[in-house]
Amino acid sequence: MVTDRLPVLSQRMATLTLWLVIGMLLLNAAVWLVPAWQDLHARHGLSFSLSDSLIAALALEPAALPWWQRLGAAVLSAIPLLVLSGGLLHLRALLRNYAGGQYFSPQSATHMGRLGQAVALWVLATFLCEPLLSAWLTFTNPPGERLISLGFDSGSIVALFLAACVVVIARILRRASELHAENQQFV
Look at residue 41 and tell me if it is in a domain. Answer: yes
Look at residue 20 and tell me if it is in a domain. Answer: yes
Calpha distance 53→39 (Å, rounded): 16
For 88-103, write each residue's pLDDT tens digit: 999 999 999 999 988 8
Contacts of 174 (CB under 8 A, 6+ apart): 106, 109, 110, 113
Domain of residue 100 covers: 6-186
Look at residue 31 and tell me if it is in a domain. Answer: yes
What is the number of other CB atoms lying within 10 angstroms of the CB of residue 41? 20
pLDDT, the chain, mean: 87
Q: What is the predicted pLDDT for the residue at 1?
A: 40
Look at residue 159 and tell me if it is in a domain. Answer: yes
Burial 90-121 (b: 16+ CB within 10 A, else e): bbbbbbbbbbeeeebbeebbbbbbbbbbbbbb
CA-nearest of 115, 114, 130 to 48 is: 130
Q: What's the mean pLDDT in 159-186?
A: 90
User: How many percent of the chain have pLDDT more than 90?
Assistant: 55
Q: What's the mean pLDDT in 40-49?
A: 60
Look at residue 109 and tell me if it is in a domain. Answer: yes
Instruction: Output the pTM of the full model.
Output: 0.86
Look at residue 63 and tell me if it is in a domain. Answer: yes
Which has more confidence, 23 or 187?
Answer: 23
Say how many domains are in the chain: 1
Calpha distance 64→67 (Å, rounded): 9
Look at residue 1 and tell me if it is in a domain. Answer: no
For 57-72, write each residue's pLDDT tens digit: 677 788 888 999 999 9
CA-nearest of 89, 167, 79 to 123 is: 79
Calpha distance 48→27 (Å, rounded): 8
